[in-house]
Amino acid sequence: MTATAIVNSLAVLLILTSLLVVESRRLKVSAYFYSLQSLVLISIFLSLAVINEAEQLYLWSITSLITKVFLVPFILLRAVKATGIVEEEPPLVGTTWSVILAALMVGLAFILVQPFHMLAVLDYKTALAVSLAHFLLGLHCMITRINALKQLLGFCLMENGSHLTLAIMAYNVPELAEIGILTDAVFAVLIMSLIAVKLYKAFGTMDASQLKMLKG
């Protein structure tokens, strides 16, 4: 198997972990699957670092390991523990339709990348399609799930997708810019998880639709 085939295969594995994050009803399990997905994402970073001799991606891998594999799941698990809610509220669509919608979005992502003929991404079209699919799957999770923490996981999927796109198309981004992007994401997760806990304390649920009650 060639190096580019390894990257594309790992990228496809990201789709599987995304589906597990979205479809798992238990919040802790979803957080663990997100951690696993981030580990796969880091494997892609390291593969790209070797293939493209991109030293910046080594530092990016280390910061991603700390933030995505450990810190973000830790924040999510703390929020679950603080609320005591172990399972999300029933989503707006059932599992069957949710999987069908996810499959359509993945198919759409692969169609959208077909016109791309840039030399930089020619070998990684599958990985690029997966990165776009991640953005769509994250959006799918945020729209169809009403649990605030599950919506936060949708944001995390979108963020992983954008990181994969950057790693493929702009792996020479300065290290400080990469660390800044990761730090922003961690703060976003921290703030949104605090809002989710406040929501639970105010309404006894993490149903994000309850935020409408705050309208004056």
pLDDT of residue 215: 62
Whether residue 214 lies inside any domain: the answer is: no
Whether residue 210 lies inside any domain: the answer is: no
What is the rounded distance in angstroms from the CA atom of residue 191 to the CA atom of residue 71?
13
pLDDT of residue 202: 83
**Tens place of pLDDT per residue across the chain (216 aa):** 676 788 888 888 889 999 999 999 999 999 999 999 999 999 998 988 888 888 888 888 888 899 999 999 999 999 999 988 889 988 888 889 999 999 999 999 989 888 876 655 667 788 888 889 988 999 999 999 999 999 999 999 998 988 888 888 877 766 666 666 667 777 788 888 888 888 888 888 888 777 666 665
End-to-end CA distance of the chain: 60
pLDDT of residue 73: 94
Whether residue 86 lies inside any domain: the answer is: yes
Whether residue 215 lies inside any domain: the answer is: no
pLDDT of residue 122: 65
pLDDT of residue 168: 82
pLDDT of residue 29: 96
What is the separation of C-alpha 211 from the centre of its chain, rounded to a whole number of angstroms? Answer: 24
Whether residue 208 lies inside any domain: the answer is: no
What is the rounded distance in angstroms from the CA atom of residue 141 to the CA atom of residue 21?
9
DSSP state of 212: G
Q: Based on the structure, what is the number of domains in the chain? A: 1
Tokens of 161: 């997708």
What is the rounded distance in angstroms from the CA atom of residue 158 to the CA atom of residue 138?
5
Q: Which domain holds residue 48?
A: 3-203
